[in-house]
Structure 1
């Protein structure tokens, strides 16, 4: 009995505690409901902010001057009522972007939970769950910065939109606001831009195509990437099948439909440096991870490396060089080898006709313009020197343990007999080049090419010496910058800094880092040899009179591609000329790359005094007998001053002439350089 009494006494305090907790929870819940009610009442009565979606992001040049905006010309916006929009487009948009649009209050809780599970499983943000209302709130009133304060504001504005407008009104605003690429805001502008018709006339295939574009207006634009656009269209059609809007048969028929797009010339509004702008866009979105909608109308300021004077010179050189030709295309990219800054970029002859950027096309064979990379490998390894000789004659080469053969030919079947590396580079001799790669090893050439910035696949075969592995002009300019920069590699850069509309820094490029790829002496010796290309007997000699400064380079010609890649101490520039459809180049067309290079280089550097290439330690020059490649004596009828890496210069004297009198000790390269151009004459006169 006592135990029962004691047990009852102990139970009363527990009941009282439970009752207190219950009252506390009820009170907190009631207070929460009151607070929520007050918040909802406030949001209902409060005005939404003024839409800020008309703030253009600006591209600025190296000096901080505004160049262009990230929309094609003025904003193209035409608002229409919901009944004036094709039902197919509405269904495609809802099936893809927000299937529960008419069933939620602005937030899709199930979708958010599903996206959270997917993202947790992959440990990355691979799936989002923004409703149309959330997207509209973000586009109309907010920047795209990823902060908690921005997310809270987005939630508030989403709730306000849902309270103040009907679902049809929200959908109508969304379809008139969303960005469809190429300056088109809203579905009416997009329909007229892409298909030349009003939005109400869009069929299923056209609607599925356009409904897929807003996810990535550049990446999924049929004008920029047709394959990506078709893949996205297929995804939209599959979503419509899942939601029951169409059948599998209807989806297949729509996907197979051949769409008729407006010509790009009709719709394009060309701005300054359009190809450079498009490249910067891809860097900002794809590499730096900035949302494309923020780039389009977030008021960003993108500080770049663009040199407007160099860009104007590049555009003028390309336009002048292609005068009188039809369909012939060209590309030019110019990089400061010392910092990696991209100074000028022209991706084609006419941006209004084609936005395809040939600077990054990796389907073009560089031909003989690739040879300097191989010769640099030979010099750096010490296996060959500038005086090394090979016999230029028809030769059958055996490789792959003698299981395969290769028989290259010289252009026009012209063979020069015994020649050294300088003569081979100047005349672009193919036999010498293949002998070189057989001596050095193709794998070693591939490895050096990688270090110099060639990212395209390189085949380790003898024909690599003749540039049979396709590369892009961008890669070639990057690789030649290493030679100009005394063997040091610097990663190319286009974007220096990005700030938001309030001036806050979103990104700042790190200080450039230089990597020593080959020793400076090897790069300098090759530079001296490459200067011969612009001298008597060189393949670039016809434009030498147009260049009034030290310059080194290499031409390259295939049946479909013409190149000149060259450099000064300030600029490394690649010029490509060819046809998009693989049409064979005529003789006159194959000679257009060199004049474009020469005209651009002189104009871009017209305010920069000519500079000689700096001479590093470890370089010597000696007089050699051209016939034997040995040290010249006083009795040699001809002698020339040649450069070598210290320790690789000839040590034997020529015995072919006279009594073999021994000359003086080898001279350091600073004392003398062979006169092959006006600046060499000037240097020799000054030094003497």
Structure 2
């Protein structure tokens, strides 16, 4: 037999042994699995880092902005149709947080934005139906959807929602996400966010909610209409009970606490009614000022949860609106405007842009209309600066004034003239047009335009003869600003409406800064003020005002065929009233006078109860008794005597030639001190 007959088969390799073969294959699979895990882990890490590096759009949770008056009273609230008041998580009770978690996401603090268990359950249902019929949204996913997406039931939307939820978890803490959710979610009946929901349903802030009330509100977001207590209180209570039971099972409250909360009656607050703005024209002006002056976006104003502190005085605003309504309310088509400013600081205290905001939102405070004689004080301030005095006399008679454009023939109201020389005081009181135009020519027509510019007028002005009579349109805003400068002794302060604006966290993001400058001397301004007081005296064009408002005040009426004005001031308040028709319709003289009635009524009611202050005499002013007929220093023989103020150096030096008094001349009298000595010879 050959050797091959006795040859043994070779020993098997390790790979040929079945058990070992499976072990080797297992190792290979483990290696592959390890590689896959590393790959997946790396991919996940890279994905998370990528998502972390990708900035989220700023969370746009519209918060209601609130506007306050000078005393902290609420004027109005601005929103985008979603009335929402911001609240911080630390300001709400713990049982409200737990009730919310029980209702929406019990594992909120354990997941990373997605609930795997919920996803698996929902996926099975959706695959069976071959469409999305069930969601597994966590609180984070709900927030992502509400902030950035729509509520469409599509696979692409769910994928985007999941990605955004992870991003939210990467960028914000759990507490911040929950806070945003509580501020964003809709609770029905116009209540966006938990703070507004607490006010809407229970008339209290969220921090004062009881356990029962918290569970009740926590049940609403799942179906604001379905669980609305106004639709079905029984259904809303069942939802509340289910949430309380969930809280018991989670160990967050005891059964006895749940029982007491279930037994607590749900005392709903009366359904809120939308309240109109207390100052709608002013509110609109605030919005425009915040946008144009401080650079805020309107979306930020209406949804940023800002607090805007303004200069408005609600009490004065109410009186302004009442006065306008009282005299214009039953006049079809007749409109009016009123603006009041504190001359000491430029603060706008009241603004009425029309008699009915619901019918017309056009703010006539900024409409340009012919001011008529209400513009004359700026002419006479320029004249005082050029050497005029209260006793400067000019003829009051029909007069023709030649100029480069032809002949200008001004006329007085109803062609009434004194037919003699009259003083500046008399011209102001009577509103003599011939005197005004004569003054305009004497001082140089450019002078009035330059003075008006100094006092803040920005409307296009031309040095035409009729400018002296207020023929070029200006706005009540400009008029009030200029009159306030007169009330402040020649210091122009730019009107201020906004004191400061705070963001939702209380940080100041805008603040007014005083803009004041001297535009006229204190002495000349005071003399003009003293002259303007005669407008409200007997014989003055505004004498009716004195019967309503007896306080020391100065002002000027104005009238054209289309406009009625009164602008005036006290040391504490400057106000302008305009009345007229929006379109080219003539204004009867009787209706034009309503501006005076509105002004007097507003001033009387606004300053009622306040101490009466008069205009203090500044340095550079000298007073003397004069004979109004001659303008000279009065003697004891003068039948009429008037105390008059002059800019020092311009006062009369000679005694009245028509009523000489040698005794007074010998004493060198004429001053107040001389008159005191005359009546008290022992001094």
For Structure 1 versus Structure 2, the TM-score category normalised by the shorter chain is: 0.5 to 0.7
| More moved, 367-376 vs 315-324 | 315-324
Partner of residue 606 from structure 1, selected from 605, 608, 611? 608
Unaligned stretches of 5+ residues in structure 2: 1-39, 85-142, 150-159, 169-183, 185-189, 193-273
Deviation at 1:441, TM superposition (A): 1.5
Match runs of 1:459-608 below 5 Å: 459-510=462-513, 512-608=514-610
Preserved CA contact (<8 Å) 1:620 1:667: no
| Residue aligning to 2:71 | 63
Using the size of structure 1 for normalisation, the TM-score is 0.63
Preserved CA contact (<8 Å) 2:64 2:83: no
| Residue aligning to 2:432 | 429
Deviation at 1:328, TM superposition (A): 0.3
| Residue aligning to 2:348 | 342
Deviation at 1:397, TM superposition (A): 0.5
| Residue aligning to 1:454 | 457
| Residue aligning to 1:395 | 399
Counterparts of 1:472 and 1:458, CA distance in 2? 12
Using the size of structure 2 for normalisation, the TM-score is 0.63
Deviations 1:360-389 (A, max 9, x none): 112x0000000001101111222x110001
Deviation at 1:33, TM superposition (A): 7.8
Preserved CA contact (<8 Å) 2:365 2:475: yes
Counterparts of 1:550 and 1:373, CA distance in 2? 20
1:38 counterpart = 2:48: yes
Partner of residue 160 from structure 1, selected from 150, 160, 164? 164
Deviation at 1:614, TM superposition (A): 1.4
Deviation at 1:404, TM superposition (A): 2.3
| Residue aligning to 1:52 | 61
Deviations 1:172-216 (A, max 9, x none): xxxxx9xxxxx9x9xxxxxxxxxxxxxxxxxxxxxxxxxxxxxxx
Partner of residue 409 from structure 1, selected from 408, 411, 435? 411
Counterparts of 1:48 and 1:586, CA distance in 2? 60
Counterparts of 1:671 and 1:548, CA distance in 2? 30
Are residues 421 and 49 of structure 1, via their aligned partners in 2, closer, same or farther at CA, if it must alter by over 3 Å? closer
1:372 counterpart = 2:382: no
Counterparts of 2:417 and 2:425, CA distance in 1? 15
1:323 counterpart = 2:313: no
Preserved CA contact (<8 Å) 1:48 1:157: no
Counterparts of 1:628 and 1:32, CA distance in 2? 104
Preserved CA contact (<8 Å) 1:303 1:498: yes
Deviation at 1:548, TM superposition (A): 2.6
What is the root-mean-square deviation of aligned Cα atoms in Å? 3.6
Deviations 1:566-595 (A, max 9, x none): 000011100000000121011221110001
Unaligned stretches of 5+ residues in structure 1: 1-29, 77-135, 143-155, 165-176, 178-182, 186-267, 674-683
| Residue aligning to 2:639 | 637
The count of residues paired between Structure 1 and Structure 2 equals: 467
Counterparts of 1:366 and 1:568, CA distance in 2? 20
Counterparts of 2:161 and 2:669, CA distance in 1? 80
Preserved CA contact (<8 Å) 1:270 1:352: no
SS at match of 1:68: strand
Partner of residue 390 from structure 2, selected from 380, 386, 393? 386
Deviations 1:53-91 (A, max 9, x none): 2x1111011112221112498769xxxxxxxxxxxxxxx
1:361 counterpart = 2:363: no
Counterparts of 1:295 and 1:529, CA distance in 2? 46
Deviations 1:626-681 (A, max 9, x none): 222122223333222211111001112222234665445566689999xxxxxxxx
Deviation at 1:43, TM superposition (A): 10
SS at match of 1:596: helix
Deviation at 1:608, TM superposition (A): 1.2
Are residues 617 and 658 of structure 1, via their aligned partners in 2, closer, same or farther at CA, if it must alter by over 3 Å? closer
| More moved, 543-552 vs 343-352 | 543-552
Are residues 665 and 462 of structure 1, via their aligned partners in 2, closer, same or farther at CA, if it must alter by over 3 Å? farther
Counterparts of 1:139 and 1:615, CA distance in 2? 65
Counterparts of 1:161 and 1:33, CA distance in 2? 18
Are residues 375 and 38 of structure 1, via their aligned partners in 2, closer, same or farther at CA, if it must alter by over 3 Å? same
Preserved CA contact (<8 Å) 2:68 2:76: yes
| Residue aligning to 2:318 | 312
